[in-house]
Chain A
């Protein structure tokens, strides 16, 4: 499944990407899609069979699953 995670800082996004990659999944950093958040930051788009457990959950703002029609379904939110 495809996910997009947003963070409170660029550093949080970098650390999360490393964790996802070390778990053997593909992940890429990119600007947060405008439709997802008005924050001006970095998100991590990744593909994994299920949502991996972040080691620093306090850095994660939200995680959405990217649906087939391109819409987002929130699977985690600290907002």
Chain B
């Protein structure tokens, strides 16, 4: 291994460890259990705060999301990597983002939270990990056969800065807290670290993810396609740091039963939820975290994907598609939670839609090439 590669690997490992540690710290500062970071949950909370859905327990403009985008934007400007571009099948990306969110919320977490849940001993996340990897492998099957959403094109600066500016407006709204913005008074949305702490955490992880290309999907994709371990090291480093943090803070609880930790043991739907997410994300070229980072770098296609994710979250809660967490009533009765009929149908539809998108953009492209 060359010195340059070794140095790059070391940087990714350190950034992964720091990211895992920051995620644990955010829980200690007030975020919900095993939710130091969850791009799906945080976009859902933000959608709720803007009243795109009316689930009262998940409404809060999450400063972590704002920090991730602004951190990436600032880093990209400093390193001259800010490059407004777009025009690569935006509507298809929106639809993929929409269904990736449906899958994530069936499981109750994005791939990032899957790692954090796993590091806390939540074995439901192991089932989801299996689904996630199968989804990525399905996506790779199409990548290898020529899947493409087409090239992107250089765009005006306004296209690149619009998404970071939207984040600044959201920051002003969460600080000013006007009456028209919803804030949960109970449930996961009411649990959060102080705005400044969440923002700094987001900025730090946004900078690190921009510099290292940290991506939960890219890690598996590169490992399978090229035997390349760099991004996977970041994935493992987050897990290791969070595992140590969870053991130290006595949050490690090995098993499927995770009452009060925003999780359920509906195995088939945990598997299929993240299967859908993994499949969709490979076609998109990155996990939800990576989409936020790319959006910060000026990528309009990724910004559209994030909008798709956000609208997917709104639909999830407006139409009862999201999984319900296991809970314990005051009389001690345990409600196992899980994914309801609407959610199950939506996940199946999502898998079919993503499959159709994959087939059309693989075999039609091959026809064009001939």
Contacts and interface: CB of A to CB of B under 8 A. Distances in A.
A, B assembled together: yes
Interface of A: 8-12, 14-15, 29-31, 34-35, 38, 40-42, 58-59, 70, 79
30 contacts: A8-B150, A8-B152, A9-B88, A9-B150, A11-B146, A11-B148, A12-B148, A12-B151, A14-B144, A15-B146, A15-B369, A31-B218, A31-B222, A31-B226, A31-B228, A31-B231, A35-B4, A38-B76, A38-B81, A38-B294, A38-B297, A40-B213, A40-B218, A40-B286, A41-B285, A58-B151, A59-B151, A70-B2, A70-B4, A79-B154
A9 B226 contact: no
A9 B369 contact: no
Contacts of A35: 4, 8
Contacts of A40: 213, 215, 218, 285-286, 290, 294
Interface in B282-306: 285-286, 290, 294, 297
Nearest to B230: A31
A29 B224 CA distance: 13
Contacts of B144: 14
Nearest to B222: A31
B365 A11 contact: yes
Given A12-B148, A38-B294, A40-B294, 20 more contacts: A8-B152, A9-B148, A9-B149, A9-B151, A10-B143, A11-B147, A14-B144, A29-B226, A34-B8, A34-B211, A34-B213, A38-B213, A40-B213, A40-B218, A40-B285, A40-B286, A59-B151, A70-B2, A70-B4, A79-B83
Nearest to A30: B226
A38 B4 contact: no
Contacts of A31: 218, 222, 226, 228, 230-231
B198 interface: no
Q: Which 4 A-B pairs have the closest CB atoms?
A: A8-B151, A11-B148, A9-B148, A11-B146
Nearest to B361: A11
B81 A8 contact: no
B210 interface: yes
B146 A8 contact: no
A38 B210 contact: yes
A14 B147 CA distance: 10
